[in-house]
Chain A
Amino acid sequence: MGENREELQRRLKRWEDTVLAEYMKERPESRKEFITTSSVPIRRLYTPLDLPPGHFEREVGLPGEYPYTRGVHPNMYRGRLWTMRMFSGLGSAEDTNRRFKYLIKHGETGLSVAFDMPTLYGYDTDDDEAKGEFGTCGVAVSSVKDMEVLFDGIDISEISTSMTINAPASVIWAMYLGNAERRGIPFSRLRGTIQNDILKEYQAQKEWIYPPEPSMRLVIDTFEYGSKMVPQWNTISISGYHIREAGATAVQELAFTLRNGLEYVQWAVDRGLEVDEFAPRLSFFFNSHNDLFEEIAKFRAARRIWAREMRETFKAKSPRSWWLRFHTQTAGVSLTAQQPETNIVRVALQGLAAVLGGTQSLHTNSYDEAYQVPNEKAVRIALRTQQILAHETGVVNTVDPLGGSYFIESLTDFMEEEAYKYFDRINRFGGCLPAIKKGFFQQEIANSAYRYQTEIENKERTIVGVNDYVTDEISVPEPLKISKASFEMQLKRLQSLRRSRDKRKHKKSLEKLHDVAAGKANTMPAILDAVRAHATLGEICTVLREVFGTWKEPLLY
């Protein structure tokens, strides 16, 4: 092997000096530097010399085996396709229930709920803070009654449900559980995910309620409760998506997400939980942006880092604890308002990257999302895009088709190394919480966002239809409006719940929750009892706010 490498080195040098040099005299390259979407310089050519000896055995290996670079399952999509899961939510529970059924009819295989802003912040629809925000970017869920309507006529013992909810995750999960209980479905049958990733809220998505420490406690409460009571539920979806959308590079997305994951594991272990009891229910969520190979390398590096950390650092014994299973959403931030139909192409390529990276489930964005929550036609095209990837392109025929590519393997290694550099920096702060309080992640993300925008501004980066290939033609997608009737229906349901519930039981449940929150016990049972007593989301979060306080972020840009 050593001799071969020397021989190859000589050959490469000869090629550069002769074949390449002569060719470049006539056809010089169009740019001095070729960079990825995240501004990583890419070399002209990759060869076996870019990978150290023994690389395949140590870093790549076989799918379904440690370190899982090639995928968590041995036969990947030949055995089972990814779950086609479209993030949906608009207006009232009735409106969103209709959208779910529409998507299921058109071949969606998993549900994913988008909640409106008030719900994400733990406010009921009739709260003053909710003014103007009802149903605009998700569905309003203020009580278990809304949850009943949301899943009416949908078999939640069969289909899995992902819920993008963070600060009030345990409350919304309790409402899902409460609805299952009412329908006579045992918790052990339920499959799904709550996002429940509060760290990235402070870093990027900014939908927090309480300060970081009590928020972390609520997260670990769900790990503990879930591993005992709802064993098929993913109690967290550790998310890079929003970190990326806020402006991070692919490396930052990878590094911050995985470091957040390790933080949750450490907190759970510190609580006294057995790593192999909760780690198999940790799931991940990544962004898929425009740069095909950079994204694929990111997904592959993520799997390898997680497997290593879980096995080596946390000494997990079960291979399921080593698996990094993830959902992917195409990059909302990459969608253009200009010539919006071109977004269909962007989404297809981003979806392709996710599939080539071995995703377990996928959301493809709709082409009209630079304007609005998608209309029915746009969302159907987005779903059809996944179906074309799955059934027409042939990319599912073999496992990790790009494994062994000198370029992909080298870029995967690069991603991993860079992620570990960030781990060191975060560790020097003393972990994720001190780094959040100092604004480290926030500043890193803001810097990258500004650099990206400046590159577009200076035309160092071309965005088709935005800073080049521009047309005057205005093509506005068919608007989607949330009706006033939906708002009124939601208010009526909420008011009727407040009137008809057992006042004494309701009051007692909230007092009990207050005591539990002020102590050290797991909050999940008390939250579930409050939901059963028809306490609303706003009421429950008010109790927790009283006990935990609220949070103000460091201001920087």
Chain B
Amino acid sequence: MAKKIRVLIAKPGLDGHDRGAKVIARALRDAGMEVIYTGLRQTPRDIVEAAIQEDVDAIGLSCLSGAHMTLFPEVVRLLRQKGAQEIVVAGGGIIPEEDIPKLKKAGIRAVFGPGTSLQDVVKFFEQAAGK
């Protein structure tokens, strides 16, 4: 049996909007993945440590407070610093169109805005984990 895809769903920063993160966590679990949900108010450092410790294939970041430009790239930077750049990072939330290319350039593989279908998110993580 193939190893299950492991995904960390994380809420960086102070933002308490966890509806989307929880719905995504559940959709990925229902699609057969192992999901670790960090809960709220995680620093990029907390998230990277958890990702390495849990040996995940990918991280899904959710931020609706507008702090994504600070927090998302920091997660990628710390992953690289720890030599864990193979972990794929995606993000979602209230993210203005003009920020998306900048986030992608900073190493965020995909950015999901409001109205994204669960199927698209599931597909992304399946492909990202190479399965």
Question: Residues of A with Cβ closer than 8 Å to B?
Answer: 117-118, 120-121, 123, 129-133, 136-137, 201, 205-207, 245-247, 333, 335-338, 370-373, 446, 449-450, 453-454, 457, 463, 465-467, 474, 476, 479, 552-553, 555, 557
Contact (A131, B40) CB under 8 Å given A372-B96, A557-B22: no
Query: Are the CB atoms of A449 and B65 closer together than 8 Å?
Result: no
Residues 13-54 of B contacting A (Cβ, < 8 Å) = 13-19, 21-23, 25-27, 35, 37, 39-40
Q: Find out whether the CB atom of A373 lies under 8 angstroms from the CB atom of B114.
A: no
With both chains docked as a complex, state the minimum distance between the C-beta of B77 and any C-beta of chain A, in angstroms. 13
Produce 1/0 per residue, B45-78, CB < 8 A to A: 0000000000000000000111101110000000
Q: Is the CB of B18 within 8 A of A206?
A: yes
When the two chains form their complex, are residues A446 and B114 in contact, meaning their CB atoms are under 8 A apart?
Answer: no
Decide: A121 and B14 in contact? CB cutoff 8 A: yes
Question: When A337-B115, A450-B26, A467-B117 are in contact, do A207 and B16 touch as well, CB less than 8 Å?
Answer: yes
Q: In the complex, which residue of chain A has the Cβ closest to the Cβ of B67? A: A132
A307–B111 Cα distance when bound, in Å, is 48
Provided the pairs A121-B14, A474-B97 are in contact, do residues A133 and B39 lie with their beta carbons within 8 angstroms?
no
Which chain A residues border B13 with CB–CB below 8 Å?
Answer: 117, 132-133
Within 8 A of A (CB), among B77-103: 94, 96-98
Q: State A290–B118 Cα separation when bound (angstroms).
A: 22
Which chain A residue has the least Cβ–Cβ distance from B72? A132
The reply to whether A446 and B115 form a contact with Cβ atoms under 8 Å apart is no
Cross-chain contact B115 with A333 (CB below 8 angstroms):
no
Query: Could you say which residues of chain A place their CB within 8 Å of the CB of B14?
Result: 117-118, 120-121, 123, 129-130, 133
Please determine whether A479 and B98 come into contact, CB atoms closer than 8 angstroms. yes
Report the bound CA distance from A207 to B18 in whole Å: 11
Contacts of B71 in A (CB 8 A): 132
Question: Closest CB-CB distance, B110 to chain A, in whole Å?
Answer: 16
Cβ of A372: which chain B residues have Cβ within 8 Å of it? 66, 94, 96
- B96–A453 contact, CB under 8 A? no
A147 to B75, alpha carbons, bound, how many Å? 35
Question: What residue of chain A has the Cβ atom nearest to residue B119's Cβ?
Answer: A457
Contacts of B15 in A (CB 8 A): 117
Complexed CA–CA distance, A466 and B120 (Å): 13
Partner of B39, one of A207, A246, A465, A555: A555
Give every chain A residue within 8 A of B40 (Cβ-Cβ): 206, 553
The 6 closest A-B pairs by CB, nearest first: A132-B70, A136-B66, A206-B16, A557-B22, A132-B67, A117-B14
In the bound complex, how far is the Cα of B63 from the Cα of A131, in angstroms?
14
Contact of B19 among A129, A246, A476 (CB under 8 A): A246
Q: Determine how close the nearest CB of chain B comes to the CB of A197; give it in whole angstroms.
A: 14
Contacts A131-B70, A555-B37 hold; do A247 and B113 have CB atoms under 8 A apart?
A: no
Chain A residues near B96 (CB, 8 Å)?
371-372, 476, 479
Measured between beta carbons, the chain A residues less than 8 angstroms from B9 are 557
Tell me, rounded to whole Å, the shortest Cβ–Cβ distance linking A120 to chain B: 7
What are the residues of chain A within 8 A of B26 when measuring CB–CB? 446, 450, 557
Of the candidates B65, B97, B113, B118, the one having the most CB atoms from chain A within 10 angstroms of its own CB is B65
Q: A117 to B118, alpha carbons, bound, how many Å?
A: 28
A449 in contact with B23 (CB, 8 Å): yes
Give the docked Cα–Cα distance between A552 and B41 (Å).
10
Question: Is there contact, CB below 8 Å, between A370 and B94?
Answer: yes
Closest to B71 in A: A132
Inter-chain contacts of B35 with A (CB < 8 A): 557
Minimum distance in angstroms from A547 CB to a CB of chain B: 21
CB proximity of B112 to chain A, nearest CB, Å = 11
Q: Do B39 and A553 touch across chains, with their CB atoms under 8 A apart? A: yes
Cα distance A553–B86 in the bound complex, in angstroms: 31
B39: A residues at CB distance < 8 A: 552-553, 555
Which B residues lie within 8 Å of A467 (CB)?
117
A457: B residues at CB distance < 8 A: 117-119
Residues of chain A with a CB closer than 8 A to B21's CB: 557
Known: A132-B67, A372-B66, A450-B22. 19 other contacts (CB 8 A): A117-B13, A121-B14, A129-B14, A132-B69, A132-B70, A133-B13, A201-B16, A247-B19, A337-B113, A370-B113, A370-B114, A446-B22, A449-B23, A450-B27, A457-B118, A466-B115, A474-B97, A476-B97, A557-B35
CA distance A476 to B113 in the complex (A): 13
Report A-chain residues with C-beta under 8 Å of the C-beta of B25: 557
In-complex Cβ contact of A449 among B19, B64, B98, B115 (8 A):
B19
Contact of B23 among A131, A137, A453 (CB under 8 A): A453
A478 CB, nearest partner CB in chain B, Å: 11
Closest to A552 in B: B39
Task: Select one of B19, B37, B118 contacting A245, CB under 8 A.
Answer: B19
Known: A132-B71, A137-B66, A479-B96. A557 touches B37 (CB 8 A): yes
C-alpha spacing A467/B119, complex, angstroms:
12
Output the least CB separation between A136 and chain B (Å). Answer: 3
Contact: B67 with A133, CB < 8 Å?
Answer: yes
Q: How far is it, in angstroms, between the C-alpha of A132 and the C-alpha of B26 when the chains are bound?
A: 29
Chain B: minimal CB distance from A169 (Å): 15
The complex places the Cα of A117 from the Cα of B19 at a distance, in Å, of 17
Question: What's the nearest-Cβ distance from chain B to residue A128, in Å?
Answer: 9
Contacts of B115 in A (CB 8 A): 336-338, 370, 463, 465-466
Complex Cα distance A453/B17, Å?
A: 16
Q: Which residues of B contact A465 (CB under 8 A)?
A: 115
A470 to chain B, nearest CB (A): 10
A552 to B46, alpha carbons, bound, how many Å? 15
Taking CB atoms, residues of chain A closer than 8 Å to B16 are 201, 205-207
Contact B94 A333 (CB under 8 A): no
Q: Can you offer 9 A-B residue contacts whose CB atoms are under 8 A?
A: A117-B13, A121-B14, A132-B67, A132-B70, A137-B64, A137-B65, A206-B16, A371-B94, A371-B97
